[in-house]
Structure 1
């Protein structure tokens, strides 16, 4: 009996610690998109700071060990990428389609910046490129749309909770993107200046061609953080049910 009591006490304390660490969410009906949007906006800063108690890593900044692109003649590796800007994102739309069981989320980051160490070879659109150094990509405005199928399931505390099953995303980058790369063409200034002019004049084409592989790993981290956040707490604690 004592062992059972101790186990129950431990699990209760553990659940209390987890719940106390979670950002407080204003309860909304899942059919009230306006309330959901406002409620989600209130916790953006706390959510992106990370919630280690539920295994949700920091999203401000996002750390990505390696991003690789092998597409359209370009071989590009970015290591130790640090992405900032998500912590000030604005929620544009948050809808729970309870019939189709899909969460639709749209948010905007203005601006968002990636820094890391790159190695590039091959062709970028129509020009040859080679280099190995530091990279900075500055995006004035990035709009992200996520569709996430879900189910209502039991969490580890035996409570009904939202479990996201997968995700699809699209993005819009229509304002401006600026690229800065050191040590292009082994430090040849003339070739480097030409490439920088080309990249920064053709940022839309570059974004359209290579945006998805650049965003793939950051978006996986965002989805995982949202999934863990929702699964960690009872549906009745975050929604009017």
Structure 2
């Protein structure tokens, strides 16, 4: 996610951007890296126009599709806010820069957009389309990234994030609000909302993965755009 941008900036000093936003750290000094990343995070996610990197909070995603075993959903024109208040912990970065691990800790995430859904929400049938809103409390998203090196147009070595895997866990209740469930039948809609809001953890574990993978994929594209501007030969701190 966007945190890889921060980690890369901390690990490698890169001219004006690094000097103005971060305190340089040695690659082996993980506490220093975490401190610098968390101090710079609100500035970085505001975007880096000179590198063509857009703002990450709010984050806009055209379509999110969840084809799950018992429920299928689509989110359209989704806006996600709250990343600017997230922080990282448990950061691990191996010596050859091929593996990155961290926990993203978010106090609140807010999603709004349009939806379509059909299937079963754990035990209840559900269907509908319309506007939706999700408001989470504390969330932890654990990321394991595979990083690769290639030769850029400048003949120097550059990093990029090839693959990533996520684990997600909400720590506090989530508010679910889906307008026009069952074509506006209030009794059926109220039953589903009551179940979802009372069983928020079970519901989140069922449906959350496609949404967070879509968010991460969007931000990873911004991370790799930044990494193309960073040459390892020039900026690794010894």
What TM-score does the superposition give when structure 2 sets the normalisation length? Answer: 0.84
Asked if the contact 2:166/2:213 (under 8 Å) is kept, the reply is: no
Q: Measured at CA, do residues 152 and 27 of structure 1 come closer, stay the same or move farther in structure 2, by a change above 3 Å?
A: farther
1:229 aligns with 2:226: yes
Query: In structure 2, what is the Cα distance between the partners aligned to 1:238 and 1:24?
Result: 15
1:71, CA displacement in angstroms?
A: 1.4
- Give the match's secondary structure for 1:44: helix
Q: CA–CA distance in 2 between the matches of 1:184 and 1:121?
A: 10
Structure-2 separation of matches of 1:188 and 1:234? 58
Q: Render the CA deviation track for 1:133-173: whole Å, top value 9, x for unaligned.
A: 11111110111111122244444444444332221121121
Q: Residue 20 of structure 1: CA displacement?
A: 5.0
**CA distance, structure 2, for counterparts of residue 155 and residue 38 of structure 1:** 30
Paired with 1:232 and 1:94, the residues of 2 have a C-alpha distance of 23
Query: 2:56–2:83: 8 Å Cα contact kept in structure 1?
Result: yes
Q: Does 1:76 align with 2:73?
A: yes
> In the alignment, which of 192, 196, 221 is matched to residue 199 of structure 1?
196
SS across alignment from 1:68: strand
Structure 2 residue runs of 5 or longer lacking an equivalent are 1-13
TM-score by length of 1: 0.83
Q: What are the residue-to-residue correspondences of 1:212-227 with 2, within 5 Å?
A: 212-227=209-224
Residue 131 of structure 1: how far off its partner (Å): 1.4
Trace 1:124-163 onto structure 2 (pairs within 5 A): 124-163=121-160
Name which one, 1 or 2, has greater alpha-carbon Rg: 1
How far is the alpha carbon of 1:180 from its aligned partner?
A: 0.6
How many positions carry a matched residue from both structures? 224
